[in-house]
Structure 1
């Protein structure tokens, strides 16, 4: 026994002598080491907006650890993931942290950003609604439009529960994300909590925004494709136009509604995680999508992507667009559509 005890003491002493030295990793401020364009290329947000967002999130340090991550680093880890869509291991290697730490930061900060959706994803009211109608009318002459509506696939990894509901017609797993966009590529509504198997019309029918239109809280038209039902506040194209007026109506609607496809393109090109595959559970993927939409709108408001002050909306003639009793909710969608065709597209 004494020989064994002596042997163990020798092992412990050898371990003490060969203790691995502590590694103090670089925690410098990347915003100070790179130019503005370099920061935007890597994080898809400009430095001034990153600092502004950091003040809104009010992130805290993990004080239980000796080498806790500063709030700025937590945010940059999250932005790096959204901008590249890379695995947590690659994001961690790029910023010199472990994969598990990167995953925790990505999930926690995504939830914080998604909680800002009420402040940055809002449907236009009052002057904003009037401005939206003017901007949409200047595109192709379609009257009284307050938004363009459409859906897109966001690819996710194979879920463990209800896997068949998420397989789309292209053979991969995805969420069916429905967005409504403003005339300046700003997203005014985001519904990302449905799998692909749910049809666009059902997502619209069960949404809070649809109920608000039915109750008369919002006025104006939403433009959708033929996957949506034609209602008194949702206008869709005619499948078989037979007159010149109907063809002009379809052309104006399609030229106006192309804005939603352009918005999808801008959003997915800016945040590659939406263009490739979200390696996350459906619940976390929903938070990631909402976080991307919040950052998209924040970037537009602060001029990171589009400077609306340099391209103001030109004034439109004083035309009375409220030609349909929208507040009653009793008018059939096809009747509203034919009334618009006769009034605005028959000349």
Structure 2
């Protein structure tokens, strides 16, 4: 009945306005517009039925750990931390809750799926999933310093050095540096500069971790074409270590990094048994950094190249990397253990790590180490590895 009334109104107005010339066209357009709105309101259901959404609160404990990498208690604590940043600004009953937003973002980080797949799992649209991922990423990124800290207090340094010493007997280690390339889609601006030596577009990410595989620092701002030495030299870590007055040890890095007074790297060619023992202890201790990268990519499959390419700009991918590192530390704080997955072993691609016998041919190592750095390494070899 209402539909016939609307159509009759439209026909009546059209007849009255017909033949009055071009000045009546605007009035005819308005009549058509109001008629369409009237018909739409008549056919629209009085009470719209929405699909039941799924947040972590409705999942089983096992499903939470498998799909989100955290148990319900840990996710609840994360929601409390992000409550102020993610609280809905609208009072509409269809607005997404904090729990819904965190569930959607964690599912994306953990499974490495596309936004549409994440939205299907959480029973929301692809555009809503995209908004959730961006909001949660920005919120955690702003709080990343609360999770990622390079504590240089004397007590912390001693404890960190003791834990590293237990691995292979390498003394005074403050942390190990590991690198990995995170693949992303070719950006519109200077795509060639993001192409790494393996032929795919990426960011060269540098991570510093301790013996417990906790991430102390992360740098995800450099393009894939940059080598490891360049990334280190242009990082805040290098400036911090050069100026740090409390430094009483060193970091360990691979052969792709230059030798410094605060960074010990292996010998390219050993000339004594002491240097061989030094190299062996160095590699065994430095491996903890690679294990951390494996664990990070196993926990958050969005960083794993075998699961797909991040379809975002380099700036957004950099934020996602930092957020995943912050959540990795949060997981360790909450006792969320995880074993590295088998398909992640090939993903610890420190592309610029050369073979020790060919290290002198690398462009990043043409700079001769300072006499002070060589003296410190020789003194270390004589004191701790010479028999």
* Bin of the TM-score, shorter chain as denominator length: 0.7 to 0.9
Local SS of the residue matching 1:158: coil
1:248-305 per-position Cα deviation (integer Å, ceiling 9, x unaligned): 0000000000001100100001101000321111111011001100000011111111
Q: What is the match of residue 49 of structure 1? A: 74
Return the alpha-carbon distance in structure 1 between the equivalents of residues 104 and 292 of structure 2: 25
Give the unaligned 5+ runs of structure 2: 1-10, 17-30, 339-369
Greater mean alpha carbon deviation, residues 220-229 or residues 60-69: 60-69
Residue aligned with 1:93, SS: helix
Greater helix share, structure number: 2
Match of 2:61 among 33, 36, 46: 36
Match of 2:168 in 1: 140
- TM-score norm. by structure 1 comes to 0.87
- The counterpart of 1:165, out of the listed 189, 193, 201, is 193
Equivalent runs, 1:115-130 vs 2, <5 Å: 115-125=142-152, 126-130=154-158
The structure 1 residue matched to 2:141, chosen from 81, 98, 114, is: 114
Alpha-carbon distance between aligned partners in 2 of 1:344 and 1:12, rounded to the nearest angstrom: 84
Question: Deviations for 1:295-329, whole angstroms, at most 9, x for unmatched residues?
Answer: 000111111117xxxxxxxxxxxxxxxxxxxxxxx
Distance 1:159-1:65 versus aligned 2 partners, 3 A rule: farther
**Correspondence for 2:215 among 187, 191, 204:** 187
| Secondary structure in 2 matching 1:127 | helix
Structure 1 residue 12 displacement after superposition: 6.5
Pair 1:149 & 2:143 matched: no
Partner residue of 2:202?
A: 174
Instruction: Check 1:29–1:82 CA distance in 2 against 1; reply closer, same or farther (3 A cut).
Output: closer
Is contact 1:77–1:106 with CA below 8 Å preserved after alignment? yes
Q: Counterpart of 1:160 in 2: which secondary structure?
A: coil
Which residue is 1:251 aligned to?
A: 280
Task: Note closer, same or farther for the CA distance 1:182–1:5 as it changes in structure 2 (3 Å cut).
Answer: farther
**Residue 203 of structure 1 pairs with residue 231 of structure 2:** yes
The correspondence for 1:85, drawn from 100, 109, 112, is 112
1:124 CA displacement: 2.8
**Offset at 1:169?**
1.4
Contact 2:55 2:103 in 1 (8 A): no
Instruction: Note the aligned Cα RMSD (angstroms).
Output: 2.3
Give the corresponding residue for 2:313: 281
Q: Encode CA deviations 1:218-249: one digit per residue, 9 max, x unaligned.
A: 33110001111101100000011021111100
SS state at 2:213 partner:
coil
Q: Compute the TM-score of the two structures, normalised by the length of structure 2.
A: 0.79
The alpha carbon displacement at 1:65 in A equals 4.6
Deviation (angstroms), 1:23: 2.7
1:338 aligns with 2:378: yes
Deviations 1:84-108 (A, max 9, x none): 1111111111111111111111011
Shift of 1:14: 5.3
Number of the residue aligned with 2:26 = none
Count the aligned residue pairs. Answer: 324
Note if contact 1:61-1:71 (Cα within 8 Å) is conserved in structure 2.
Answer: yes
Equivalent residues of 2:53, 2:123 under 8 A apart: no
Does the CA contact (< 8 Å) of 1:139 and 1:255 recur in 2? yes
SS of aligned partner of 2:177: strand
Question: Rg larger in 1 or in 2?
Answer: 2
Matched, 1:24 2:56: no
**What is the CA distance between 1:3 and its match in structure 2?**
8.1
Kindly indicate whether the alpha-carbon contact (under 8 Å) linking 1:232 and 1:331 is maintained by their aligned counterparts in 2: no
What are the within-5 Å matches in structure 2 for residues 316-335 of structure 1? 332-335=372-375
2:268 is the alignment partner of 1:239: yes
Q: CA deviation at 1:11?
A: 6.9
CA contact (8 A) 1:213 1:219 kept: no
SS at match of 1:122: coil
Please state how far the C-alpha of 1:25 moved relative to its aligned partner.
2.8
Cα distance between partner residues in 2 of 1:29 and 1:5: 55
Cα separation, 2, equivalents of 1:171 and 1:98: 34
| Separation (CA, whole Å) in 1 of partners of 2:270 and 2:136 | 49
Query: Which residue of structure 2 lines up, in the alignment, with residue 310 of structure 1?
Result: none
Runs of 5+ consecutive residues of structure 1 not aligned to the other structure: 307-329
